[in-house]
Chain A
Amino acid sequence: MAIALAALGAPAVVLVRDPLKQIVLSGFYGWSLVILFVVLGAPDVALSMLVVGTVGYPLVVLVAIARIRSDKEEGDGE
């Protein structure tokens, strides 16, 4: 079950083209890995994955997306 979630999540992240949807999906994919690690008896790894995959990484990417979008809008206006 957990493996299936992870196996579905990884291609989903790659196939979605919109960066904003992609980062949300990648968060869910990170979650599926967390479940997998818990099931496999590695709660410490799961916790690290949780904080990196659902807090740290999406945060940085979201800021980057916000920045790029605003630059693009400014560029379009010129």
Chain B
Amino acid sequence: MSRRVRLAVFVPALGVFAALLVWGLVGLPDFGHYVGPYGYLLDRVAVPERHVTNVVTAVVFDYRGFDTLGEEFILFTAVVGVVLLLRGDEPEAPELNDSIGSDLVRVGGVLAVGAALLVGLWLVAFGYLTPGGGFQGGVVVAAAALLVFLVSSYRDWEGIGSEHVLDPLEAVGAGGFVVIGLAALVSGLPFLTNLLGPGTTGTLRSGGSVAFLNWATALEVSAALLVLFSEFLEEYVVPLAAESS
């Protein structure tokens, strides 16, 4: 395609896209003038009904828990797909000698791993009291494990990234969500009904089932990310490093 043809396609498309965008922006309510009734309603009922101070988590793991189940299985299915594609009967991984020599990186790195792990667990644990929750906390926990690979060596990472550890963890996380939902069904209530008492507002013992769904999600998300990373590493990065060393 010549430059002229490309411009002839690009400029009208840009114009249409920009016009649509401006049109959409103009139609937005002013900042602070939210018009949907649902948000106000939840804001009012979440704390009295569920004793959960983070309304977002109350929506994700209670009022709209079924949607979250679907989302969790989107992630689960995606990871299963990656594993099916990448996990073959590949030959024994080559011995890698990629230890980081710098003491500064190692010491700083170990501290960073600890800090990230702590932040991740904190985000999960208090996810239904303050901003956070299983999804975000789970990713941070996974990132802490990835840091082990970055600041140490592939050999240290292999212990964490082993499929024998991660696969069961991911399954327990995804399955745990369903089991909690079924527990309500068994007790004669609709699927995923919050059957544990609401507890005391503002403490870790609040929200009932929300807390357990939160931890199940955290387990699923962090294990899923680590499975992905470990498959990517095995398939793409280890062969490269072995070649260049």
Contact = CB atoms under 8 A, between A and B. Distances in A.
Interface of A: 43-44, 46-48, 50-52, 55-56, 59-60, 63, 66-67, 70
Contacts of A60: 232
A64 B186 CA distance: 46
Contacts of B236: 63, 66-67
Contacts of A52: 139
Interface in B52-88: 54, 56
Contacts of A56: 139, 225
Interface of B: 54, 56, 123, 131-133, 135-136, 139-140, 142-143, 146, 225, 229, 232, 236-237, 240, 243
B240 A70 contact: yes
Contacts of B131: 43-44, 46-47
A48 B136 contact: yes
Contacts of A55: 139-140, 142-143, 146
A60 to B, nearest CB: 8
Please report whether the interface of chain A is mostly helix, strand, loop or mixed according to DSSP: helix
Nearest to B57: A44
Given A59-B229, A63-B232, A67-B236, A51 B143 contact: yes
Nearest to A60: B232
B56 A63 contact: no
A70 B243 contact: yes
Given A44-B56, A70-B243, A51 B136 contact: yes
Contacts of B142: 55
A76 to B, nearest CB: 14
B131 to A, nearest CB: 4
A59 B226 CA distance: 12
A75 B132 CA distance: 46
Most chain B C-beta atoms within 10 Å of own C-beta, residue among A44, A46, A48, A55: A44
Contacts of A67: 236, 240
Contacts of B237: 63, 66
29 contacts: A43-B131, A44-B131, A44-B132, A44-B133, A47-B123, A47-B132, A47-B133, A47-B136, A48-B135, A48-B136, A50-B136, A51-B135, A51-B139, A51-B140, A52-B139, A55-B140, A55-B143, A55-B146, A56-B139, A56-B225, A59-B146, A59-B229, A63-B232, A63-B237, A66-B236, A66-B237, A67-B236, A67-B240, A70-B240
